[in-house]
């Protein structure tokens, strides 16, 4: 079977070209549908031979909160009819990469043990943009296992300033 990224690339590029004037709105609904499509129960439902493409589409759009444009409806129909619903998260990821490349920015995921207010996130974003040398789209996710501090992932770069990482470093130093 072909790698999922190889399957997702043409869909992401076609959507990018078709929605070039409304990239932000497209990214929003695509991310929402990618999250829904990642649900194992929906995957099982969609692969059932007794379920039609229209039934899968109806379930998918019934769960979603956003209203769909005609382009979005056509895109989702195409993905479902071609049996590529499981690839939708990869399509969304590649679409986001195309949007970021055009804007000259990158996505940054900040893992924090505690919720951060908007002012803290904005301050952290400025610091991270200086550190990584580019514009960042910062998203915060909670991860209580890091105990304190933050862990930042930008593409394949990781900046780990968490308490858990420091404790692991101390453990290694004490054992050595």
Q: 105-175, which class in CATH?
A: alpha beta
CATH number of the domain at 4-100, please? 1.10.520.20
* Position 155 confidence tier, pLDDT thresholds 50, 70, 90: confident
Whether 1 shows a pLDDT value over 80: the answer reads no
Per-residue pLDDT tens digits for 10-40: 999 999 999 888 988 899 999 999 999 999 9
Whether 172 shows a pLDDT value over 90: the answer reads yes
Residue in this structure with the two tokens 């609904």, named with its chain if needed: 29
- Is residue 109 within 8 Å of residue 139, measured between CB atoms? yes
The segment(s) of the chain belonging to CATH 3.40.30 are 105-175
Whether 9 shows a pLDDT value over 90: the answer reads yes
The segment(s) of the chain belonging to CATH 1.10.520.20 are 4-100
- Is residue 15 within 8 Å of residue 95, measured between CB atoms? yes
70-to-18, 95, 99 alpha-carbon distances in Å: 11, 18, 21
Residues forming beta bridges with residue 136, ordered by sequence position: 106
Please give the pLDDT value at position 64.
86
Average pLDDT over residues 63-76: 88
Q: What are phi and psi for residue 62, nearest 5 degrees?
A: -70, -30
Per-residue pLDDT tens digits for 79-120: 999 999 999 999 999 999 899 888 888 899 999 999 999 999
* Position 54 confidence tier, pLDDT thresholds 50, 70, 90: very high
């Amino acid at each position: 079977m072909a790698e999922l990224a190889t399957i997702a690339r043409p869909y992401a590029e076609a959507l990018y070209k078709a929605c070039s004037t409304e990239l932000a709105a497209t990214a929003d609904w695509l991310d929402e549908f990618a999250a829904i499509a990642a649900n194992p129960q929906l995957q099982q439902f969609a692969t059932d031979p007794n379920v039609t493409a229209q039934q899968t589409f109806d379930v998918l759009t019934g769960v979603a909160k956003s209203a769909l444009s005609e382009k979005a409806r056509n895109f989702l129909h195409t993905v479902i009819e071609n049996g590529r619903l499981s690839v939708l998260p990869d399509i969304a990821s590649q679409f986001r990469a195309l949007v970021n490349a055009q804007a000259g920015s990158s996505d940054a995921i900040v893992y924090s043990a505690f919720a951060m207010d908007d002012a803290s996130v904005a301050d952290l974003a400025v610091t991270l943009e200086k550190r990584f040398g580019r514009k960042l789209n910062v998203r915060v996710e909670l991860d209580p296992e890091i105990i304190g501090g933050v862990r930042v992932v930008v593409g394949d770069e990781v900046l780990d300033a968490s308490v858990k990482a420091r404790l692991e470093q101390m453990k290694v130093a004490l054992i050595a």
